[in-house]
Amino acid sequence: DLRLLLLSFTLAVLGLAESRKLVRIKTKTSDAKNAGTDDEMSYHLFGTDDDCYIARGTMNNPGDDYQRGAVDVFEGTDLGPCDYKTFNQPMDLIRLGHYGSDAWIFDWIKLEYSDGTYQYCDLGGNTVIDDYDTLNIPC
């Protein structure tokens, strides 16, 4: 029956949409002079249907993160409670928190999901955050 086939297809599509989980965050530090930082960051992700907070110091790979010209990849335990969290709708913004006096200049933040989709969040490149400030970054 065609109606049963359409219903099955609709349920399958809805099921895929509901399984959209955050699996990775990538950051791109600017190539500008003194762009890198050794300070800690926090990430508060805000979506239409949910939010999630990654505390300062949680996103920490072995070696130096947030260095000039580098793309850093954070996944698994680096994402804290946001690791593999379901977001049915795209993120609206990230509230980035900076903890220290060593400015970070970044180009973009990329959110990657389990269904292969992704979002770039940025303010046009060469964005500066410094001195215990917070910054709202649209996605």
pTM reported for the whole predicted model: 0.85
Q: What is the pLDDT of residues 28-78, one digit of tens each?
A: 999 999 999 999 999 999 998 899 999 999 999 888 999 999 999 999 999
Closest CA to 90 of 62, 111, 73: 111
| DSSP-assigned beta bridge partners for residue 18 | none
Q: What is the pLDDT of residues 4-33, one digit of tens each?
A: 444 444 544 554 445 799 999 999 999 999
Q: Scanning the structure block, which residue is given the tokens 């000039």? A: 68
